[in-house]
Amino acid sequence: MSNNPASAAHPGKTLTSSGFYVSQDTEIICENPTPTPTSTPPDVLRCAYMELVVTDLAASREFYVDVLGLYVTEEDDQAIYLRSTEEFIHHNLVLRKGEVAAVAAFSYRVRSAEDLDRAVAFYTELGCDVRRAPSGFTKGIGDSVRVVDPLGFPYEFFHATDHVERLSWRYDLHKPGELVRLDHFNQVTPDVPRAVKYMQDLGFRVTEDIQDEEGTVYAAWMRRKPTVHDTAMTGGDGPRMHHVCFATHEKHNILAICDKLGALRRSDAIERGPGRHGVSNAFYLYLRDPDGHRVEVYTQDYYTGDPDNPVITWDVHDNQRRDWWGNPVVPSWYTDASLVLDLDGNPQPVRARTDSSEMAVTIGADGFSYTRPDDEAEMPEWKQGEYKLGHQL
């Protein structure tokens, strides 16, 4: 058995004993780059909140508050403002009532008020639709800039926000599946290298990606705060929102959410997991809300804040990249995602991915061989599918 599954596949990168590659080189070849603005980008602190349009506010409240336990900062008959246990800004999630389930904003907090001027200049130079609301677009958030970015996503930047109580010490309120922080967004876009180049111009750093031996990039994870990511770009028809993710403290919190959903006879809300990711090393669970918006619950990724933090590249044929235990990725996880809106509230048109799709190259096309390349001929027939349990689709 070889410990060296594809040593020649990714030149310039070092194969680790864990089976992925590391490098300091985050340069990705992009055939259709967005122009690099001359303006300094805004200094982004972190992903801060998502504004989700939901079609049934009561059903969404039941899911996010009663089942998942997010805290209500404010609510009225049009919108609910929710936060996680450790949050001190007004909200991490806005549920807004609307006709079409979609994402109205991926919102980032910036370091200072001046960074909003920088955001205006940066996106104006890119020719984007740029709007500024000095009193904010949502309750609890001050001066804000919203743009439709070069990839078609509604991005927001803000600094001023109402402070609310951090509930970390309120153990009397905590539940077994406590969601403690907003961790990241995940976006679906047809051209991942183009997305990475634009996000690098915006000041984000790549921490991990998935490539094949030809250099096709299937997904990339990028960060401002010193974790694996604030957002990830997943290759597919887009622009669409793949998921929004909240962190728990421990793995057992995620198991408790599964137990609760089972007890409520709501196990159909579980789409994928629980499991251990290869990418990010985090323990994970994917849920679908009443409108089909995907929510991840996640814990225990790693610190990435040093300037020479190694960039990890996973081979797309490594069947442990998406699940470290080799469990299959359900097809809906690759194909389903939420629409995103322009700044007038209209759904953005979805463009098809032209590069190979990760699902196409890894489900049904893979052998189990990548993990142990010399073993395939010895495997019983029933095991010679793409995953350890054989052909499941």
**Residue numbers of the site for Fe ion (CB under 5 A)?**
186, 245, 296
- Kindly state the smallest distance separating residue 286's Cβ from Fe ion, in Å: 8
Residue 326, token pair as written in the block: 């080799």
Q: How far apart are CA 342 and CA 157, in angstroms?
A: 15
Give the nearest distance from C-beta 296 to Fe ion in angstroms.
4
Min dist CB 271 to Fe ion, Å, is 12
Alpha helices in the chain (DSSP H): 57-61, 114-125, 192-201, 251-263, 331-335, 358-362
Instruction: Please state, in angstroms and rounded to a whole number, the distance separating the CA atoms of residues 151 and 367.
Output: 34
- CA 88 from centroid of its chain's CA atoms: 22
CB of 115 or CB of 296, closer to Fe ion = 296
Which sign, positive or negative, has the C-alpha torsion 126, 129, 130, 136? negative
Q: Is the Cβ of residue 148 or residue 222 nearer to Fe ion in the bound state?
A: 222
User: 84 to each of 72, 144, 265, 393, how far by Cα in Å?
Assistant: 9, 22, 25, 36
Task: Report which DSSP code applies to 63.
Answer: I
Q: Closer to Fe ion by CB, 90 or 277: give it.
A: 277
144 vs 186, beta carbon nearer Fe ion = 186
Beta-carbon-side half-sphere exposure of residue 272 (alpha carbons within 13 Å): 22
Question: Given the complex with Fe ion, which of 21 and 221 has the nearer CB atom?
Answer: 221
Reading the block at residue 284, the tokens are 């994970």
Question: Which one, 186 or 320, has the nearer CB to Fe ion?
Answer: 186
Smallest gap, in angstroms, from Cβ of residue 127 to Fe ion?
A: 30
CB count within 10 Å of CB 345 equals 14
Q: Quote the least distance from Cβ 280 to Fe ion, whole Å.
A: 7
**CB 123 to Fe ion: min, Å:** 25
**How far is it, in rounded angstroms, from Cα 192 to Cα 85?**
33
Nearer to Fe ion, 115 or 209 (CB): 209
- Least distance between Fe ion and beta carbon 243 (Å): 6
- Distances in Å between the Cα of 282 and the Cα atoms of 155, 274, 318 are 26, 11, 17
Which residue number, 156 or 301, has a Cβ lying nearer to Fe ion? 301
Please tell me the distance from the alpha carbon of residue 14 to that of residue 63, in angstroms, as a whole number: 44
In the complex, the smallest distance separating the C-beta of residue 245 from Fe ion, rounded to whole angstroms, is 4
